[in-house]
Every structure is written in C-alpha cells, then in structure tokens.
Amino acid sequence: MSSVAIAEVQPDVLKALRILGGRGTVGDVVSTVGLPRDEVEGTLKNLLESHQGHLEVSESGELIYLFDRDLIRRDRVPLLQRIKAGAKRFLTGAFKAWIVTMLVVYFVVFVVLVIAALVAMMSRGGDRRSSGSWGRGAGRHHGHFHFPSFWLWYYIWTPRWRLGSPYYGRRWEATLEKDSRPPFYKKVFAFVFGPDRPKPTRKQLDRSTLRLIRARRGALTTAELVEHTALPLPAAEEEMGRLLGSYAGEPTVSPDGELVYAFPELMTSAHGPVKAREPNPAWMRMEYPLEITGNEKKHDAVIIGMNGFTLVAGATAPLFIFPQLGIGGTAAFIGLVLIPVVFSVLFFSVPLLRVLGVRRENRKREARNIRRLVLGLVYREALAGGGYVTTEAAIAHVRARVSDQSIDPSQVEAALHQLAAEFDADVSSGRDTSLVDDLSKEGPLRFSFPSIRNQFVASETIRQRLQLENVELGDVVYSSADSAVEASEREGVAFDRELAGEVDLTPYLPSPDRVGFEDDYELVAFEEELKRRGPVKH
C-alpha cells in the first residue's frame, strides 16, 4: 500500500479509533469506516509507527490494536517544553561564552597586575634595586617579549577540532587521536555544566535492535526485546509496535497463542543469506555513573587553580594591588573586586549545585543497572527450563557482579518483584513440607517465569516455519518453500518438542554470567567519527 493511499485513508481510520476508544481489531475498524481490509490493516501498521500504541492477542488468536485513547503522536513535544528547551539552549550558550571570557581575561589581568604590584613593591627599595641585579636581569632579555610556546596554543585549540563539536568526557577523549582531542575551553564548560550528554537519533537507537532482529533470523518477541534493552514490559510493547510500523513488520501468532513479530524485509539482502553478530544483552550494557565534570583530574586542577587565583587576587586587590599600583575609585573596585569575586564564587557554586542532580541521576542509573543484572538471572533460569529465582539468590547474583558491596537489598527485591509483575511470574513458597516441625514457617518466595520461555519458544517456532534467513532477493516475501500444510506440520512438531522439553534456548542467552558497561557516546560514535573525518575527497 503506497504512502499516498495511507495518507488518504488515515483520517478515517483515526476517526474510527476515536469511536472505538483506541482499541479494536482490523474487523472493528473496517466495519466502522467501510474501507477495504488491506487499506485498513496497512494504515493501522503505519499508525503504530507514528502514534503511541501496540498489539495484543485475544484468547481466540485475533490481533488487537491498542492505541492511547487520545491518539498521542510519538514525536509530540508540548509547546511549553519546546520554549523552555530553546531558552535553555540560548542562555547556556551565552553563559558559556561569558564564562570562558571572564575566566581567561580576569586570570590574565590579575597575573599582570600581581606581577606589576610585586615589581612595584620590590622597586621601592631605592637605587640599589634599580642599578642592581634587577637591572642586569632585565638586560639579559634585551627588551624582547617571549611569546608563549606552541604547547600553550595546542592546549587552547587542537588542529582537527571543529567548533561546536561535543565533548563527552575523558573516556570518550581517550578514544580520539591527539590532534582531534577537545581544546581547553571545552574542559572549562564541562567543569561548570558537566560533559555533553549524547542525544542519539531514533536511527542510532534502532541500529542495535535491527542487528538483534537479523541475528535472531528475522523474528522477535517482546521478551527478547526486553532482554536486549531492559525496558519495562509495557514500554517494550510500545516499542515493538513502533518497530512493526517502521520496518515493515508482520505480526503473527504462534500455535500456543504468543505474539511474534517477523521482519522479512530486514532479512532480504543482495549479498546472499543474512548473517549478523548478535549485540550484547542488557546486563552487558550497563550504564556508567554520571560524573560531575567528566574531565581528567589534572584538567580540573588547572581550572580550579585559575579560578581560585582570580578569586584570591580579586578579594585581596584592595589590600595589595591597589596600594602598590596607586589604583582606587568606585570603577576599579567594581571591575577588579566585585565582578571577579562574584564571578569566581558563581563559577565554583554551579558544579556544587549540580552535585545533587548528578547524585539523583546516578541513583536512577544504579536502579536500572540492578534491573539489568536481575534480568540476566531471571532469563538464565527461565530459558534453562524449570528454574526459579529467590530474593536471596538475586541479591547474591547482583553483589557478585558489582564492585560496590553497599547495594541496597531492597532495590534488588523491588527489581525482582517488578519483573514478576510484568511477566506474570508464578510465585510459590519455598517451605519444605516434608519437615513436619517446620510447617508453620514460610520459606523464601520462589519466582518462576514460564511466559519468558514460552515467548522464546514461540519465536523459535516461527523462525523454523518462515526460514527468513534463506530468503533471497527476488523471492516472494514472507514465504517458505513449504506448502501451508507442511508449514503447519512443522509448527506442530516444534511445539511438541517444546512440550517435551527438547527445545534448547540457551544459545539465545549470551553470556548470562558476564556483565559489562556501555558508554552513552557509543550510540553516536559512528556519525561523530564521520563528522571528524570530514567529507570524502575524490
């Protein structure tokens, strides 16, 4: 169905969804608007890309489209929020320019004034200073002023640095060549405002998920997306709906009633069968703690020294600089005392105030990392078949994989209970009923997650049916070499194997006992590298 046809039909489908309260099958919408089924179905899939919504499966196996009752667009940003964001960008840019100017200019001014004041103080000793060692020392320079050496300019600017390029902190800087590393003024900005935070585009965010789809042979369930992203299940369902609309996905229902998303177009290649390396799961892509400045300690020390010198020099100017150089008056007091002292105090105050926000963000990151670690344990036990997880096991699992032993057990317990609620886990008591004397004692709760295993089995069943990895350019999309009867038989055999416990799902759980971290900038590294290299010359 063409984009023009979808645009023509979309208003009618949106009107029907409003009448239906945002929930309905393709048949519900068709009967409401009186349009052909193919047009309605294509438009609904397109709306999953542009509007908040996802799919569900009814008990009878029918697909149900669920949208927000207000049919909210995914890219909608409230006007007030856009105004605030624009104002913040403008004020931050202006403040950054003012900061660098003030820091460097006042530092240089006070260096000159302090040296001049010292010279004036030393020269007041009389003729012996004017004709003694001082004069001889000056003569050796022959009146020439020595310009700062090249390293100083290299510290302020680097040959391949582009104005406006981001600075993501010291770990990111270590990946760059020396000539491409950020200059000193970016370190000053980071000291005050923190390092730049990557803002990956939707394309950049999708790149890893598309690799996962291809590695999983073109079929994916929501549980597999959670394994990769650690998103809460409702958010993952929304994301699967968007992926379905964005990448020409086809929803299908497995023999046991699980919803599987197939992406035949992603498995079609001009280079033969598609092979993709599977990306790391969520517990190997944990978040680093956010840093206050992101700078190396030596760079922060230089910045603190410069501003500290300005603060001390400004505060003591009436006691030292003014008397020695004969400076006085209101203008001098405002320009050389009040402004630099207030500026220096603000310069130090902003990072101190940011500490609260950084700590709050790091608590959120810690909670997300704990969820990732518990997720790895839950998936390991679920895919092994018949396994269960207790709170004690989850706490031990998390503490064994992080260096910080001060992990709050209540956070781990909360993460486990949240996952149990999302996946409708089976909960049982660990009490040993064979011990009569202990019947009154409740053992630890055991959480098992059969729904996770069911979803993985469902996607494997669909993969065996479709064999999208063997589709070649020119083949009929979303088809296999088997007849419908043979495909149905294949599904039945796979489902029977699952019931017999013969389906091995461990290959879909990479490195369950390993953990790792991923920096935010890695999501945008590819495009940033292209920008640094510049246009290709022919």
Query: What is the rounded average pLDDT of the residues 43-66?
Result: 86
Establish how many alpha carbons lie within 13 A of residue 95's alpha carbon, considering only the half-sphere containing its beta carbon: 14
Which residue segment(s) compose the domain that 337 sits in? 89-125+146-198+291-358
Whether residue 470 has pLDDT greater than 60: yes
How far is residue 83 from each of residues 75, 89, 467, 501, 522, measured CA to CA in Å? 16, 10, 50, 57, 29
CA 372 – CA 362 distance, rounded (Å): 15
Give yes or no: residues 72 and 172 share one domain.
no
Per-residue pLDDT, averaged over 153-181, amounts to 81
490 has pLDDT over 60: no
Q: Look at residue 222 and tell me if it is in a domain.
A: no
Query: Is residue 220 over pLDDT 60?
Result: yes
C-alpha atoms less than 13 angstroms from C-alpha of 113 in its C-beta half-sphere: 26
pLDDT, tens only, 280-307: 999 999 999 999 999 999 999 999 999 9
> Which residues have a Cβ under 8 Å from the Cβ of 465 and sit 6 or more positions away?
480, 482, 487, 490, 491, 494
Residue 5 pLDDT grade (very low, low, confident, very high; cuts 50, 70, 90)? low
Say yes or no: 41 and 112 in one domain.
no
Determine the pLDDT at residue 292.
94
Q: Out of 161-170, 268-277, 366-375, which region has the weakest mean confidence (pLDDT)?
A: 268-277
Can you tell me which residue has the tokens 């000159």?
Answer: 112
The CATH number of the domain where 35 resides is what? 1.10.10.10
Q: What is the pLDDT of residue 381?
A: 92
Name the CA radius of gyration of the chain, rounded.
32
What confidence category does residue 403 fall into, taking pLDDT thresholds of 50, 70 and 90? confident
**Is residue 10 included in any domain, yes or no?**
yes
Please compute the mean of the pLDDT values over residues 230-243 and round it to a whole number: 94
For residue 325, which of 41, 532, 160, 114 has the smallest C-alpha distance? 114
- Among 14, 46, 76, the domain boundary falls at 76
Give the rounded percent of residues in the chain with a pLDDT score beyond 90. Answer: 38
Beta strands in 127-196 (DSSP E): none
249 within 8 A of 206, measured Cβ to Cβ: no
Is 477 among the domain residues? Answer: no
Strands 259-262 and 445-448: unpaired
Strand order in the sheet with 219-220: 219-220, 259-262, 250-253
For residue 262, give the H/E element and its range: strand 259-262
Q: Look at residues 192, 190, 168 and name the one whose alpha carbon lies nearest to residue 180.
A: 168
Q: Which residues contact 192 (CB under 8 A, 6 or more apart)?
A: 96, 99, 347, 350, 351
Residues 75-100: what's their mean pLDDT? 76
User: At 158, is the pLDDT very low, low, confident or very high (cuts 50, 70, 90)?
Assistant: confident
Residue 149 is predicted with a pLDDT of 53
> What does the alpha-carbon distance between residue 350 and residue 234 come to, in Å, rounded to a whole number?
38
Structure-token match 């053992």, residue found: 443
Q: What was the pLDDT predicted at 352?
A: 93
Residues contacting residue 464 through CB under 8 Å, at least 6 positions apart: 490, 491, 494
Q: Are residues 118 and 50 in the same domain?
A: no
Q: Enumerate residues 6+ apart whose C-beta is below 8 A from 73.
A: 50, 51, 52
Evaluate whether residue 240 is within a structural domain.
no
Final residue of a structural domain among 307, 323, 358: 358
CA–CA gap between residue 112 and residue 282 (Å, rounded): 55
Residue 228 domain-assigned (yes or no): no
* pLDDT grade for 221, boundaries at 50, 70 and 90: very high
